[in-house]
Chains A and B, each alone.
Chain A
Amino acid sequence: MTVISDHRVSDHRMIEPQIRPHAGQGLWAALKPYLGTPLNAIITISCIALVILALQALVSWLFVNALYEGTPQDCKATRGIGICWPFFAAKLRFMTFGFYPYEQHWRPGIAMAIFLSTGFITMIPRFWGRWLIWLWAAAVIAMTILMWGGIFGLVRVPVHTWGGLPLSFMLSFVGLVCAFPLGIVLALGRMSNMPAIKIICVMFIELIRGVPLISILFMASVMLPLFMPEGMTIDKLLRAQIAIIFFAAAYIAETVRGGLQAIPKGQFEAAGAMGLHYWQMMRLIILPQALKIVIPPLVTTFIGFFQDTTLVTIIGLFDFLDTVRGAIRDPAWQGIAVLEAYLFAAFIYLVFSWGMGAYSRFLERRLRVGHD
């Protein structure tokens, strides 16, 4: 450095080029986030210990101490020590399809395969187009015929025997398809400048969001029959489905409203200046933008709502969680494979929910447009 008393403000000489301190190279740089400070080292070591312990327990439960063949009594002996595979051999089909006639299980099986593959095709952006609507229409018809039967030589299967995973999918899918338009209408109604319509929509949305889903389901199962005219009965499944649709619509409405509020006022004004009337404006200008914004929160709502269909088990419908519990309650297996059954159910829900979440994150990246 130069001496300050000298009148020069800065030094003429250039500083020699130097290596950046702690350059990001080598083993130490890679290890630094893990072992950089004493605290970090402690955290790393305890995390590794935790992971090893968990993996050890998992491996010994899943493989080492697992029971591959045997009777329920054998499983009782290894309860809590190793997984009981005979339970799955005996009960997997019941857990998946519920009380659907045993020799007809291929029908809900195929229906589920159609559902999942159609869903998978819909998720791939290169297939997006108008034809997907026709694909879904065909899929729904095929699934209905398969489940219901009565034509093409298929045995008619009464609705009260439907159950298991197909029922859970059905409750969520039908709920979603019906609740989505209703939710959009409610959101538009809430944003409307007609006071009466606004108040009706706000009351509906807040009423439903203010109470637990279970109370709406109770209402549908216990109270709704009293509201029906004499002699008219609605199937229990349909009642639960209606409750789910109303519940989902209220939540979807609030999510969509968030998107509508994010659209700049200029968009509404420009659409009005172009001479579009209300529905044209909404359909062509506002909703496409608003819905795109709310895709991530909407998928979160959908996931929550797929999980919430489990609540129908409380009012006595045979959804997937209920058939899993039914398998546990079977006298031969009572209290033997409880953890196995619940963890299996958790795994199935985890896979589907996590899959939807991962897809939403992918979609979010893909749909991100330049200007925001």
Chain B
Amino acid sequence: MSTAVRLIYDLRFRAIIYQIMAVGGVLFLGWYLYSNVVTNLSDKNIATGFAYLQREAGFAISTQLIPFQGSDSYGRALIVGILNTFHVSLLGIFLATVIGLVVGIARLSSNPLLAKLMLLYVEFLRNVPLLLQLFLWYSVIIFTLPNVRQALQPIPHVYLSNSGLVVPSLNWSAAKTGVLACFLLGIIAAFLYRRAAISSRVATGIERRIWPMMLAALAVPTLIGLFVFQPNWSIDWPEAGRFRLTGGSTLTPEFTALLVGLALNASASIAEIVRSGIQSVKKGQWEAAQALGLQKGEVMRKVVLPQGLRVMIPPLTSSYLSLFKNSSLAVAIGYPDLVMVSTTTMNQTGQAIEGIAIFMSIYLSISISISVFMNWYNARVALKGR
């Protein structure tokens, strides 16, 4: 047999050929698409590059965490959009976790009625498309709530109407940011102290009280901050005027609908994750913990949840990530998130490729960094193999 024929039957040689073919195919496709884009763009006279980010945007954004006017640049509009995406996602993740935890534990309740009701809740939310849920919440707010003049008052000083939810707010100032920073420093100090104390206890075997020093580490920086910055604790109460509400801070119907929709939808999957995490802990663990004389709450906190958490973390990460990605549905009900600001920009400038590339890479980088972080955390808490 000639060498050429023998080479064809060589698996390693074949593998190299296949890979060269695959890479070549991908490169060719990339080149082909790129050359098409270049011809199309020059034919249609569409500008390229990211210079447009500096130009004046000329549109208004209804919800903004940092000040924005029409005379500001597209770049700033994009940042407003990113902040809005984070705002709704983080609040949504917090709400979804709280509701999901409660529902997940209630699903395992010894009371069959409660367990069944919670099952109903989960099934309903999981089997109706999220986009439809968002439309539903939005239209409930817009069409069934009364107008501002007859705003409902579920709790004193909280007004609910078809133009949104108005809640009392703190007048935020630089001084309060300072206090908040001090408080965060305190949390970090307390955490570091706790770690050091635990490792010294492990090393020496001498038991010392940890909490007084932890409390001090928490409180002292906050008190110093309060003393140094002297913030003014006035609360801005909303007031019902003749035609509209003044004061307080308003959550727009779009934001409220998006937040409620995202949080409830994710809470259903989180509930299922919590349930299966708790169920994954073997019955023997419960019994052994009880035999050691631990209280029921302690069994949950010290034995079951730490082990269940290990099972829960990977799916929990993906449901947080999907909430974050689903926040892009904001564009359907008109909440100015990253995608909506980008589409407005694309419509005005015609630079679709840049616009889509920007928001896709933002989503991609955040998704990838969260999953890298979660993989690291998961590796830390995973069972150490022997």
Binding site for B on A (CB under 8 A): 33-34, 36, 40, 43-44, 47-48, 50-51, 79-80, 194-197, 200, 206-207, 209-215, 218-219, 222-223, 225-230, 303, 307-308, 310-311, 313-314, 321, 325, 335, 338-339, 342-343, 345-346, 349-350, 353-354, 357
Contact = CB atoms under 8 A, between A and B. Distances in A.
Given A207-B364, A338-B143, A350-B127, A226 B40 contact: yes
Contacts of B363: 210-212, 215
Contact of A339 (B112, B130, B139): B139
Contacts, number: 154
Contact of A211 (B15, B114, B360): B360
Interface in B98-138: 109-114, 117, 123-124, 126-133, 135-136
B110 A47 contact: no
B266 to A, nearest CB: 13
B311 interface: no
Given A349-B127, A349-B128, A350-B127, A33 B18 contact: no
A214 B110 contact: no
Contacts of A34: 111-113
A34 B364 CA distance: 49
A322 B191 CA distance: 51
Given A200-B23, A215-B360, A310 B43 contact: no
B216 interface: no
Given A210-B363, A214-B328, A228-B36, A40 B144 contact: no
17 contacts: A34-B112, A44-B113, A47-B117, A80-B143, A194-B15, A206-B368, A207-B364, A212-B328, A218-B339, A219-B360, A226-B352, A228-B40, A307-B127, A314-B131, A321-B129, A346-B133, A357-B123
B144 A339 contact: yes
Given A338-B139, A350-B128, A311 B325 contact: no
Contacts of B128: 307, 346, 349-350, 353
B135 A197 contact: no
B228 interface: no
Contacts of A343: 136
Contacts of B129: 307-308, 310, 321, 349
B93 to A, nearest CB: 16
A47 to B, nearest CB: 5
B352 A47 contact: no
A313 B113 contact: no
Contacts of A345: 132
Nearest to B332: A314
- 10 tightest A-B contacts by CB? A196-B19, A307-B129, A353-B127, A210-B367, A212-B325, A212-B328, A210-B364, A310-B129, A222-B352, A338-B139
A47 B37 contact: no
B184 interface: no
Contacts of A40: 110-111
A196 B343 contact: no
Contacts of B127: 303, 307, 349-350, 353-354, 357
A82 to B, nearest CB: 13
Interface of B: 15, 18-20, 22-23, 26, 33, 36-37, 39-41, 43, 109-114, 117, 123-124, 126-133, 135-136, 139-140, 143-144, 325-326, 328-329, 331-332, 339, 343, 346, 352-353, 356, 359-360, 363-364, 367-368
Given A33-B112, A40-B111, A44-B111, A346 B325 contact: no
A33 B110 contact: yes
Contact of A50 (B15, B117, B339): B117
A142 to B, nearest CB: 28
Q: Looking at chain B's contact residues, is the secondary structure mostly helix, strand, loop, or mixed?
A: helix
Given A40-B110, A227-B37, 15 more contacts: A47-B111, A50-B117, A195-B19, A196-B19, A200-B26, A209-B367, A210-B364, A219-B356, A307-B129, A321-B131, A342-B135, A346-B128, A346-B132, A346-B136, A353-B127
A354 B20 CA distance: 46
A332 B382 CA distance: 60
Contacts of A212: 325-326, 328-329, 339, 363
Contacts of B18: 194, 197
Contacts of A310: 129, 131-132
A55 B359 CA distance: 45
Contacts of B325: 211-213
B132 A349 contact: yes
Nearest to B39: A230
Contacts of A215: 328, 339, 356, 359-360, 363
Most buried by A among B20, B113, B136, B343: B113
A321 B135 CA distance: 10
Most buried by B among A213, A218, A321, A335: A218
A169 to B, nearest CB: 14
Given A214-B339, A215-B359, A350 B112 contact: no
Nearest to A199: B23
Contacts of A206: 368
Contacts of A342: 132, 135-136, 139
Contacts of B111: 33-34, 40, 43-44, 47
Contacts of B346: 222
B188 to A, nearest CB: 31
B376 to A, nearest CB: 17
B123 A354 contact: yes
A80 to B, nearest CB: 5
Nearest to B365: A210
Contact of B364 (A200, A211, A307, A338): A211
Nearest to A356: B127
Contacts of A48: 113
A47 B113 contact: yes
Contacts of A51: 117
B112 A214 contact: no
Contacts of B110: 33, 36, 40
Contacts of A214: 328-329, 331, 339
Contacts of B15: 194
Contacts of A223: 352-353, 356
Contact of B22 (A47, A197, A226, A357): A197
